[in-house]
């Protein structure tokens, strides 16, 4: 597997574009993704009971229709809590794109992100579609424009891509995502769009995605809020020409590994760009009795507001980590736990068998002052492990969310 530059246009046969349509005052706010040949489509969606209209539309397409050709995304308005009118606007959006592209409306997926409770300006969106279609390109630059157009409070675009050999053929997997706040998924996270030119059946594509989100997007938390709009879409157009993957085997394993790499990189970029964040906070639980135990412990640590605040302050307040492990619901012996902090500045054992090692506070602060910080908790019960990602909790997070709609 080889890491390459690019995003949704890295895979053959995919075009994209991003523009300022007028939903926002002066930033890009609409993106389109298109494959000239039909794609197998897979998806995972928010577990929030309150589901936005685009989630319901995309679930219908992914679950009940054989193929997809295009994705239309707007940022600025979430089209959530908008009733039948909001769902109707999804149909209008898909219908407009379908008519201009010469495809069926059931082959057009939609996505929205932004303020909840407002109806989308559907006329502006339809005009945006008219403007985007002639601009669609398969270039890296077009992919960047699309990645920028789906941003809300994100501070940077988020892309990732890899190539892998399947059946002697080079296959590419690339993606883009957005997410900075209201991120605490239990199925996927915010909006993520992944493309591949691999030939793979819809059934195996969905299997690969469903398995991947467990260890990637599901392991990210910025603020503990699960969005109404969380969506991950995966499109495979088969243009690479590899022997179609229809069952588990070596090619499926290699494809799943490539997909997992892209999703992991995108998930980490979401965590590191959490609203107001100054540091990516990674938590590894090792020596666990089971995968479930490791996941529970790591997510409890990474979501602890007190721990996140300590990371912001570069404070090795390890008691908060042990406390978060204790209320997680997972059973372990706190007197057997070893804890380390690690970053580009070094690695330091903070506690051994549940008590302080007498570590240097100065050295710990140095390690915690980096932009990427890892806490490693060894519970010494087995061989299972899990990794979760989050960010520090800053004053800026409160400022952003106290004034989000203005």
Tell me the catalytic residues. 189
Question: What three-state secondary structure class fits 5?
Answer: coil
Sequence-ordered list of residues with C-beta below 8 angstroms from that of 136, at least 6 positions apart, any chain? 15, 16, 17, 32, 34, 142
Q: How far apart are CA 34 and CA 38, in angstroms?
A: 9
User: Which is nearest to 234 in space by CA: 203, 277, 194?
Assistant: 194
Beta strands in 179-230 (DSSP E): 191-196
In this structure, what is the dihedral angle of CA atoms 56, 59, 60, 63, given to the nearest 10 degrees? -160
- Report the greatest alpha carbon distance in the chain: 69
User: Which is nearest to 307 in space by CA: 295, 294, 323, 293?
Assistant: 323
184 in Cβ contact with 225 (< 8 Å): yes
CA dist list (Å): 160 to 326, 350, 379: 36, 34, 33
Q: What is the DSSP letter of 386?
A: E
Q: How far apart are CA 295 and CA 131, in angstroms?
A: 45
User: Which is nearest to 159 in space by CA: 246, 263, 49, 304?
Assistant: 263
Q: How far apart are CA 356 and CA 242, in angstroms?
A: 55
């Amino acid at each position: 597997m080889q890491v390459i530059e690019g995003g949704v246009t890295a895979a053959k046969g995919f075009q994209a574009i991003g523009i300022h349509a007028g939903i926002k005052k002066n930033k890009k706010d609409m993106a389109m993704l298109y494959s000239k040949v039909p794609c197998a489509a897979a998806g995972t969606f928010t577990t929030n009971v309150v589901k936005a209209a685009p989630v319901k539309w995309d679930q219908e397409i992914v679950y009940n229709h054989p193929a997809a050709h295009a994705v239309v995304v707007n940022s600025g308005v979430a089209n959530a809590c908008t009733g039948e009118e909001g769902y109707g606007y999804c149909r209008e959006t898909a219908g407009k794109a379908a008519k201009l592209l010469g495809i069926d409306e059931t082959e057009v997926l939609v996505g929205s992100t932004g303020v909840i409770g407002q109806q989308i300006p559907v006329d502006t969106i339809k005009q945006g579609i008219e403007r985007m279609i002639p601009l669609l390109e398969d270039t890296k630059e077009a992919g960047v424009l699309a990645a920028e157009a789906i941003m809300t409070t994100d501070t940077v675009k988020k892309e990732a891509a890899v190539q892998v050999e399947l059946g002697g053929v080079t296959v590419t997997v690339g993606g883009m995502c957005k997410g900075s706040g209201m991120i605490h998924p239990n199925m996927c996270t915010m909006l993520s769009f992944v493309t591949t030119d691999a030939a793979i059946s819809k059934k195996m594509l969905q299997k690969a995605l469903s398995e991947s989100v467990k260890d990637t997007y599901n392991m990210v938390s910025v603020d503990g809020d699960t969005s109404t709009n969380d969506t991950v879409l995966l499109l495979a157009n088969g243009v690479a020409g590899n022997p179609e993957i229809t069952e588990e085997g070596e090619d499926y394993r290699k494809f799943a590994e490539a997909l997992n790499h892209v999703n992991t990189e995108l998930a980490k970029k979401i965590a590191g760009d959490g609203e107001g964040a100054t540091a990516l906070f990674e938590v590894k639980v090792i020596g666990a009795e089971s995968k479930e135990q490791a996941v529970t412990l790591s997510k409890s640590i990474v979501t602890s507001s007190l721990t996140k605040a300590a990371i912001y302050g570069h404070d090795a307040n390890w008691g908060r980590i042990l406390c978060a492990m204790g209320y997680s619901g997972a059973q372990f012996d706190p007197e057997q736990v070893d804890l380390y902090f690690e970053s580009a500045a070094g690695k330091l054992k903070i506690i051994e068998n549940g008590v302080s090692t007498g570590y240097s506070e100065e050295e710990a602060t140095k390690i915690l002052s980096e932009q990427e910080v890892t806490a490693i908790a060894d519970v010494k019960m087995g061989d299972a492990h899990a990794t979760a990602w989050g960010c520090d909790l800053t004053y800026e997070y409160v400022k952003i969310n106290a004034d989000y709609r203005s």
